[in-house]
Structure 1
Amino acid sequence: MLGIGLALALMTLVLMPLQLLAIRLRWPLARRLPFVWHSVAARLIGLRLHLKGRPVTERPLLLVANHQSWADIVALGAVMPLSFIAKSEVAGWPIFGLLAKLQRTTFVEREARGRTGQQADAIGERLNAGDAMVLFAEGTTSDGNRVLPFKTALFGAAQASLRRSQAEAVWVQPVCVAYTKVNGMPMGHYGRPLAAWPGDVELMPHLLAFLREGAVDAEIRFGEPIRFDAASDRKAVARRCESVVAALMARSLRGDDDRAG
């Protein structure tokens, strides 16, 4: 485990100056370097990814996912260049806050209802700039065995994107992350908290327990994208995304081998 930590630290130190410069100068490289980091990190920590379906190539694109763990960041970040929407507290976390900033994360105050519109506008600007943004719509982490109800407020980012651009529509794509096996063996209902991190568990012990296992399988399923246009209702789109992600989660936990659809 010490070797993994040193390798991640060395990679971060090597890439960080270039990423900071790319962010400052707004180079396209700023999108690509975090993808490289996550791709290497997934291999180092033993996170084995299995993709079902594929992300759409059209932009603007808002990916709407379930959320179980810090490992979701690595898993999704290793699939494609993207950025995340995270609660504001993450910005102040040691190490993880720095990594989130290097990822070009947009931080939001989920409980600040008076700022919802302003925060949605900020996400909308990122969407219009061509960034694929990931919204963890549950607003918290689950135990990995179910999908929690989706919160609808930040779906307003799709509306904000349309207001601020010439685009006729924003693509909203449901995505499910499910942890299915450890060292080749099915996790099962009671074993899944090895990967899931439901907030009341301390982070570092959870991280170390994950690394000790050596190989964890994560299945990422992409649902059919939803066209969000001026006539769309954000609450209806949120409910549809929740239903699709829950269905995708059920397929993954049952071990279904079909493509997401």
Structure 2
Amino acid sequence: MAFGWTRALRVLPWWWHRAAIWLLGIRVHVHGTPSPARPLLITANHVSWLDITVIGSIMPLSYIAKSEVAGWPIFGILAKLQRTVFVERERRSRTGAVAGEIAERMAGGDVMVLFAEGTSSNGTHVLPFKSSLVGGAAKAIEAAKGQATVQPLAINYTHLDGMPIGRFYKSRVAWYGDMEMASHLWWVLRHGVIDVNVAFGEAVPFNGGAERKAMTRTVEATVRRLVGEATAGRLKESDAVLEPH
């Protein structure tokens, strides 16, 4: 009974995110598939708070997020239900404990998502990835005495109400800097359907002998390529489309 209740709590946010893309008018085009390998760390670029709902609508998963997310309306509760690992950036003394928690989740089969830029961008470009992104994977490898998998994921908002999004509207769909969530949410609700491409790159095995910075460069290059292909309309036909109605 306890196992069933735990499973239900993990799946509940997935269904909520499915409902949210309907309410917000977001059409999610999924390219590629999540790797079935475990432990799995998905490393993505970050454009908006919408990313959480977009990725969360595809499959049950957990996030590695800044501690401020815990206090967000609605999303903070969902983050806790998704067993999000909250990182307090100003308390570096807890780095080891956080890495251990990430390792425990991954070793237990949870798919972890890390926004590898460390912050959100204006949507027109990908910020440099931080090499610390593989820290959780490295700890999981040590715990499991085996191999973990890192999979790049590219997010790109491409159309607004059926029209291609230029640089101006990309920065409006994006949520970054000191933007207020309430006003941004209201802007999203007032406009038409937003199309977003979510592209899974080739998963990369990571073992104890792998070099973190080299791994970071590899996944960052893949995300940059996929974002560029989505912007230019060169991505292959989507494998699945989650409609907002």
Q: 1:182 to 1:211 in 2, by over 3 A?
A: same
Note if 1:130 corresponds to 2:109: yes
| 2:26 paired residue number | 47
Q: Matched residues, percent identical? A: 48
Match of 1:252 among 222, 230, 236: 230
Match of 1:72 among 31, 36, 51: 51
Match of 2:203 among 225, 228, 231: 225
> Which is further off, 194-203 or 133-142?
194-203
Q: 1:128 to 1:171 in 2, by over 3 A?
A: same
- Taking the aligned partners of 1:142 and 1:73, their CA distance within structure 2 comes to 14
Q: 1:169 to 1:26 in 2, by over 3 A?
A: farther
Matched length: 238
| 1:8 paired residue number | none
- Taking the aligned partners of 1:109 and 1:259, their CA distance within structure 2 comes to 39
| 1:4 paired residue number | none
- Taking the aligned partners of 2:2 and 2:85, their CA distance within structure 1 comes to 17
1:169-214 per-residue CA deviation (whole Å, 9 max, x = no partner) reads: 1110000010000000001111112221013111110111011113
> CA RMSD, aligned part only?
1.9
1:49-93 per-residue CA deviation (whole Å, 9 max, x = no partner) reads: 111111111111100000011100111001111111110121123
**Residue 26 of structure 1: CA displacement?**
6.5
| 1:196 paired residue number | 174
| 2:147 paired residue number | 169
1:27-63 per-residue CA deviation (whole Å, 9 max, x = no partner) reads: 2223222111111211121110111111111111100
Note if 1:156 corresponds to 2:132: no
- Say which structure, 1 or 2, has more relative contact order (CA 8 Å, 6+ apart): 2
Match of 2:189 among 202, 206, 211: 211
Counterpart amino acid of residue 160 in structure 1: K
Counterpart amino acid of residue 186 in structure 2: L
Counterpart amino acid of residue 174 in structure 2: A
Gaps of 5+ in 1: 1-20
- Taking the aligned partners of 2:2 and 2:198, their CA distance within structure 1 comes to 29
**Residue 106 of structure 1: CA displacement?**
0.9
